[in-house]
Amino acid sequence: MSPEWIGQPVVQFGFIGFSAVLLGLVIWMIKRLLSVLLANTRVIEANTGAIRDLTSMTSDLLKLDRSLHDKLISRPCIAQKEIST
């Protein structure tokens, strides 16, 4: 087979057509990737907001727990009176 068949118009147009199809496929895949990245960004934002809410709630609960602990510690022990009598 001689290398002259590469220069034939049919082969050249076939290569151009295949290149156009591949370019279209790459462009379509990039558009899909960008839409997935946008959705991913929305999910990350929602998760970040949820984590901030949980952090705030945990902080409030920790303050409440410390307050309850201090109140319990300040009260006298009832069991101690029963043991001593």
What is the rounded distance in angstroms from the CA atom of residue 65 to the CA atom of residue 85? Answer: 33
What is the rounded distance in angstroms from the CA atom of residue 38 to the CA atom of residue 30? Answer: 12
Residue pair 41/47 in contact by the 8 Å Cβ criterion: no
Q: What is the pLDDT of residues 8-35, one digit of tens each?
A: 888 888 899 999 999 999 999 999 999 9
> How many domains is the chain built from?
1
| Percentage of residues in the chain having pLDDT higher than 90 | 65
Q: Is residue 78 part of a domain?
A: yes
Output 57 or 85, whichever has higher pLDDT: 57
* Domain of 60, in residue numbers: 40-85
Q: What is the pLDDT of residue 85?
A: 56
Q: Is residue 71 part of a domain?
A: yes
Q: Is residue 7 part of a domain?
A: no
Q: Is the pLDDT of residue 37 over 60?
A: yes
